[in-house]
Chains A and B, each alone.
Chain A
Amino acid sequence: MEIGAYSFGDTQRNPDGTQRSTTEAIQNLFDAIVVSDKAGLDYFAVGEHHTLEMPASSPGALIAAAAAATTQIRLGSGVSVISTDDPVRVFQQFATADAISGGRVEITAGRGSSVDSYPLFGYDLKDYDRLYEDKLELLIRINKNESVTWRGAGRPALDNLLVVPRPVAGSMPIWVGTGGNAPSSVRAGRLGLPVSYGIIGGAPHRFAPLAELYRRTAQQYGHSGPNIKVSVAALGLVAPTKKEALERFHPSWRNMSIQAGKTRGWPAPDDGAYLAQAHAPGAYYVGDPDDVAERIVHLHGYMGHVRHFLQMDIGGLPQDHFLESLTLLATEVKPRVERLLARVS
């Protein structure tokens, strides 16, 4: 199983609670990817969010920089909000980074968890479904053929036009990112694409029927082989002890919840909910290496996923805690997961 991380960027906070610069957030994120690569982490995904708190809006640019500064880690987007972007441009940026990295780049396409990108790029929410369907189809088409003919929503038609550079392996992995809407699992299965589940609340093993639905739909449409696979993205933080992990992640979680509440009109966050989610079978993989590894392997029994990756840097998590967590994931959690999985099989 691959172990990794994802980030939307995390703007740091001053002791008085005010926010530091978004420039620093991007620099921190870049440093974190380099540290993850050295530590032996398998995967790092970036973006896409467009807020002061989470400013990683350009996964392609950051991944291209990371591609040049790393040697082994796989790099991807988490997710590329394909509905409000140009699939031709997304493909070109990621294929460029793929060339620089020697073939370590992937794309995860999704609708995004917010609608921030619609007014920013001048798209109409009325076209929400059609933009996603059509543009995902275009992205898949570009990945298959260098000369592309396509007609659909959200960008001009293409008539046998060339899209270069081509990826190192001829094509790049394109995943579908979903937050657990059952029709999205059907879509991924129908298209024969790998699927990535963002599980940010509730009991993760409840996603098991969705993974089954995805696999059965793929089968129904004649898709099989290594492309039919599942990954899981979740919140979490690893520290030397469970107590430290809980204490370190709590202010971050609280800041993020307060921010989300301001936007969406929710009340102050409930610490009881935090503790419930941070212990098995909750959705936050917050703990020491043993705890986090055991919970990943427990979920594997339900999901059969090939990759588990965590978002740790939220709500102004201090950078040294972030880097320590990434390192522990690579050096302590991953070998434990491998040992436990070997015992199961």
Chain B
Amino acid sequence: MTAIAVLGVGRVGAAVARTALQGGYDVRVAGSGAVEDIALLAEIVIPGARAMSAEAAVEDADMVILAVPLSKYRTVDPGPLAGKVVVDAMNYWAPADGPIAEFEDSRLTSSEIVTRHLHGARLVKTLNHIGYHDLEDHRTPPGTPGRRALGVASDDEPAARAVMDLIDRFGYDPVYSGPLSTGAAFQPGTEIFNGAFAREAFERELGHANGTRLSA
């Protein structure tokens, strides 16, 4: 069974981990705080997931999902993530979380800044543009008419493909937008971030300016 490590057990991390369990994955979770506290948290709030230290959770995981507050991204140790497919579900959202100079002053997407820190990781941006309530409520089987779509951006196309499979098993139609920079189309403040779209409408919103597209 494919093993997924979710780093972060807040509202987003817990919802992502539960969705991964629904998708049939072997899920391990890690968060800050005492491991026995996280173990109890997982047992009750994310039943089926195994609580571990971040290092242990990542070690033999096939994929890692980052669901920590963006302000803490530098606390994520890049070493163990090298070579791994890593999903960046974080957002820079100043009106809600306050400004962070490094992101405020940059023309790059938040994921392009994160990827510099996580050098060696195969970073994929997705899951940032769906609310944690919606993530568990909007999931539908493949082929369902009007199935909600989620964007996937990465400079690493095989990594993007692997994550597109994950998104499908999470209950959503994956749409590859292109390199990490194209994730700008679904950051906070965009139509996609604010709305919910099925594949065709999603692709229209993306505009596919760069013409890159992978099929699911």
Contact = CB atoms under 8 A, between A and B. Distances in A.
B10 A182 contact: yes
A217 B37 contact: yes
Interface in B5-62: 9-11, 14, 31-33, 36-37, 40-41, 44-45
Contacts of A126: 71
Contact of B44 (A128, A209, A264): A209
A265 B40 contact: no
Contact of B40 (A114, A201, A220, A267): A220
B189 interface: yes
B133 A182 contact: no
B44 A183 contact: no
The main secondary structure of chain A at its interface with chain B is: helix
Interface in A217-241: 217, 220
A212 B40 CA distance: 10
Interface in A131-185: 180-183, 185
B41 A213 contact: yes
A210 B33 CA distance: 17
B40 A216 contact: yes
B41 A182 contact: yes
B41 A183 contact: yes
B145 interface: no
A329 to B, nearest CB: 27
- The listed residue with most A CB atoms (<10 A of its CB), out of B44, B188, B189, is B44
Interface residues of A, number: 27
A305 B133 CA distance: 23
B162 interface: no
Contacts of B144: none
Contacts of A125: 71, 97-100
Interface in B131-181: 133
Given A182-B41, A220-B40, A264 B71 contact: no
B105 to A, nearest CB: 15
Contact of A202 (B31, B93, B133, B188): B133
Interface string A27-41: 000000000000000
A47 to B, nearest CB: 19
B194 interface: yes
Contact of A183 (B10, B71, B100, B193): B10
A186 interface: yes
Contact of B188 (A180, A190, A265): A265
Contact of A182 (B45, B93, B97, B100): B45
A180 B11 contact: yes
B211 interface: no
A280 B36 CA distance: 36
Contacts of B71: 125-126, 128
Contacts of B95: 263-265
B45 A213 contact: yes
Nearest to A116: B98
Nearest to B195: A267
Contacts of B209: none
Nearest to B9: A182
Interface of A: 114-115, 118, 125-126, 128, 180-183, 185-186, 190, 201-202, 209-210, 212-213, 216-217, 220, 263-267
Given A265-B95, A266-B194, 13 more contacts: A125-B97, A126-B71, A182-B10, A182-B45, A183-B32, A186-B33, A190-B37, A217-B37, A264-B95, A264-B96, A265-B188, A265-B189, A267-B195
Interface of B: 9-11, 14, 31-33, 36-37, 40-41, 44-45, 71, 93, 95-100, 133, 188-189, 193-195
22 contacts: A114-B96, A115-B98, A126-B71, A128-B71, A180-B11, A181-B10, A181-B11, A182-B10, A183-B10, A183-B31, A183-B37, A186-B40, A201-B133, A202-B133, A209-B45, A212-B44, A216-B40, A220-B36, A264-B93, A265-B95, A265-B189, A265-B193
Closest 6 CB pairs of A and B: A115-B98, A125-B98, A265-B189, A213-B44, A264-B95, A202-B133
